Amino acid sequence: MSAMSRLIQQERVSAIIGPNYSRDAIPVAAAMEALRVPMLTPSATNPDVTRGRHFAFRVCQVDSAQGEILARYAYENLGARRVAVLYDEADAYSAGLAGYFRRAFAARSGATIVAEAYESGAQNYGPQLARIRASGAQVLFLPNFPGDLSRQLPQARAAGFTGQLLGGDSWDTDAGFHSLPEAQGAVYSTDYASAAADSKLQASVAALAAQSGAELNKTTALCFDALEILLAAAQRAGSVDPVSLRSGLAGLSGFEGLSGSVSYAGGGDPQRTAFIVGIQGGGLVLRAKLAPEPKR
């Protein structure tokens, strides 16, 4: 909040890219709404970031859309009819995405879902995993962050769960646990898949990232697209005035970036494709490219 205030009050910026996490983006978005300055977050996925606001935008998929996409993938692509969810009840991302997934999956014919919550900071998930195994779930959805996942994946297999492990885009925030034996074969949703990206643009951005010692990953791709989207909005509006920039963003359609195609239909949540990737040999392979379902 202090950094946001300095940028707007002292630097007089026309817009802000960020914050990256929903827990930071939600209060910043509320403050910037009152100041009427656009905020474009690369990766904050909670619906509350943009809900009811005119100056808050995101590049990434929103959790409600991600929950629907993951439920559709589990039901249609994996053929699952019984799934389980293990989530952090105190984390906005984890609990929020778990809820959207649960509602979307339960609405499908013949679908059954079991949900198990845990407290933040937990080290042992034995009781929850025992109940999940006993439920006969074919898929275990883990909408959690790598610090927890590095413990949950081995414990799930040790508890006897042999089904498919499924994750959300938080699995991309730190690939360290991807080398775990228990992570092999797991799949998760993401906004960026190198196998589906434009090769020339990808090489150009990788070279730019290397200049500052960064690597080309999902965070880099989404931040790069955020900057390009903001520039495209300024060109569309013919101005860098904050209110004009907001109009330029809201009307932007068919932007093609490193993370795919992004369009806005007047609001801050983009219409965009999502990718399902699988962990294989510690690396990633593209499993599916899914368009969002039409709004009902």
pLDDT, mean over the chain? 94
Q: Residue 130 in contact with residue 124, Cβ under 8 Å?
A: no
> For residues 17 and 227, what is the distance between their CA atoms, to the nearest angstrom?
7
User: pLDDT above 70 covers what percent of the chain?
Assistant: 98
pTM of the model: 0.84
Does 137 lie in the same domain as 120?
Answer: yes
Q: What range defines the domain where residue 268 resides?
A: 2-61+197-274
Q: Is residue 293 part of a domain?
A: no
Domain count of the fold of the chain:
2
The predicted pLDDT at position 25 comes to 96
Task: Give the mean pLDDT of 64-91.
Answer: 95
Strands (E) in 14-105, as ranges, are 16-17, 39-41, 56-58, 82-88
Instruction: Please check the confidence at residue 99 and state whether its pLDDT lies above 80.
Output: yes
The predicted pLDDT at position 296 comes to 44
> For residues 87 and 94, what is the distance between their CA atoms, to the nearest angstrom?
6
Task: Tell me which of 172, 190, 208 is where a domain ends.
Answer: 190
Task: Tell me which of 143, 169, 190 is where a domain ends.
Answer: 190
> For residues 291 and 286, what is the distance between their CA atoms, to the nearest angstrom?
15
Does 103 lie in the same domain as 49?
Answer: no
Task: Give the mean pLDDT of 94-114.
Answer: 97
Helix (H) or strand (E) holding 64: helix 63-72
Q: Is residue 291 part of a domain?
A: no
Instruction: Render pLDDT for 258-279 as a digit per residue (tens, 0 to 9).
Output: 998 899 989 999 999 889 999 9
Does 150 lie in the same domain as 245?
Answer: no
> For residues 71 and 197, what is the distance between their CA atoms, to the nearest angstrom?
24
Does 71 lie in the same domain as 134?
Answer: yes
Does 177 lie in the same domain as 95?
Answer: yes
Q: Is residue 281 part of a domain?
A: no
Please state at what angle helix 63-72 crosses helix 92-106, rounded to 10 degrees.
40
Task: Tell me which of 190, 206, 237 is where a domain ends.
Answer: 190
Q: Where is pLDDT greater, at 79 or 273?
A: 79
The predicted pLDDT at position 127 comes to 97
> For residues 102 and 71, what is the distance between their CA atoms, to the nearest angstrom?
8
Instruction: Render pLDDT for 156-211 as a digit per residue (tens, 0 to 9).
Output: 999 999 999 999 999 988 889 999 999 999 999 999 998 888 899 999 999 988 99
Does 160 lie in the same domain as 107?
Answer: yes
Instruction: Please check the confidence at residue 292 and state whether its pLDDT lies above 90.
Output: no
Burial pattern 177-191, b for ≥16 Cβ within 10 A else e, equals bbebebbeebbbbbb
Does 202 lie in the same domain as 124?
Answer: no
Instruction: Render pLDDT for 118-135 as a digit per residue (tens, 0 to 9).
Output: 999 999 999 999 999 999
Q: Is residue 163 part of a domain?
A: yes
Which whole-number Å values give the CA distances from 218 to 59, 169, 175, 180, 258, in the listed order? 12, 9, 11, 20, 9
Task: Give the mean pLDDT of 24-50.
Answer: 95
Does 68 lie in the same domain as 51?
Answer: no
The predicted pLDDT at position 217 comes to 87
Q: Is residue 279 part of a domain?
A: no
Does 54 lie in the same domain as 133?
Answer: no
Q: Is residue 286 part of a domain?
A: no
Instruction: Please check the confidence at residue 294 and state whether its pLDDT lies above 70.
Output: no
Task: Give the mean pLDDT of 68-96.
Answer: 95
Does 73 lie in the same domain as 141?
Answer: yes
The CATH number covering residue 237 comes to: 3.40.50.2300
Q: Is residue 45 part of a domain?
A: yes
The predicted pLDDT at position 197 comes to 87
Residue 284's beta-bridge partner residues? 279
Does 71 lie in the same domain as 170?
Answer: yes
Token pair for residue 39?
Answer: 């905020």
Does 210 lie in the same domain as 119?
Answer: no
Q: Is residue 289 part of a domain?
A: no
The predicted pLDDT at position 293 comes to 55
